[in-house]
């Protein structure tokens, strides 16, 4: 199980790095800070699934979930949305022998 968690963390961190490089490249080209949101990326990749996801959530009993949770997350930068869970999964999936005993070992 630890292997699966570590693998998921590694994939998410890799995706976050790719998205950070994309935003960095766009920022260099625009000579200004450019942050691509998850909603913008999802819309470019497959707009129909984003609209379908919104429709399913808004028509079900979880309608408030769309406005209070999903919409703010869709506005966050993609590298942050992938990087934070990736770091958490990578930390949780680390080997048992590599646990940090105190903060001075960091």
Residue 11 C-beta-side C-alpha neighbours within 13 Å: 6
pLDDT, residue 95, reads: 79
pLDDT at 105: 59
- Cα distance between residue 38 and residue 19, in whole Å: 10
Q: What is the pLDDT of residue 100?
A: 64
Q: What distances in angstroms separate CA 47 from CA 14, 16, 30, 43, 59, one per listed residue?
A: 24, 21, 25, 4, 18
Per DSSP, 77 falls in state B
Cα angle at 46 between 51 and 29, to 5 degrees? 115
Locate 62 and state its tokens. Answer: 């979880």
pLDDT average per 10 residues of sequence, the chain (106 residues) = 94 97 97 96 96 90 85 96 96 76 64
pLDDT for 103: 66
Q: What pLDDT is stored for residue 61 in this prediction?
A: 80
Instruction: State residue 99's pLDDT score.
Output: 62
């Amino acid at each position: 199980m630890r292997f699966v968690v570590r693998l998921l963390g590694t994939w998410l961190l890799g995706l976050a790095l790719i998205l950070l490089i994309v935003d960095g490249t766009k920022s260099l080209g625009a000579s200004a800070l450019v942050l691509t949101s998850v909603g913008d990326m999802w819309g470019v990749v497959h707009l129909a699934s984003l609209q379908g996801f919104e429709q399913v959530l808004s028509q079900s009993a979880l309608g408030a979930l769309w406005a209070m949770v999903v919409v703010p997350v869709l506005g966050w930068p993609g590298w942050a949305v992938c990087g934070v869970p990736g770091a958490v999964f990578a930390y949780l999936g680390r080997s048992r022998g590599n646990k940090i005993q105190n903060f001075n070992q960091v």
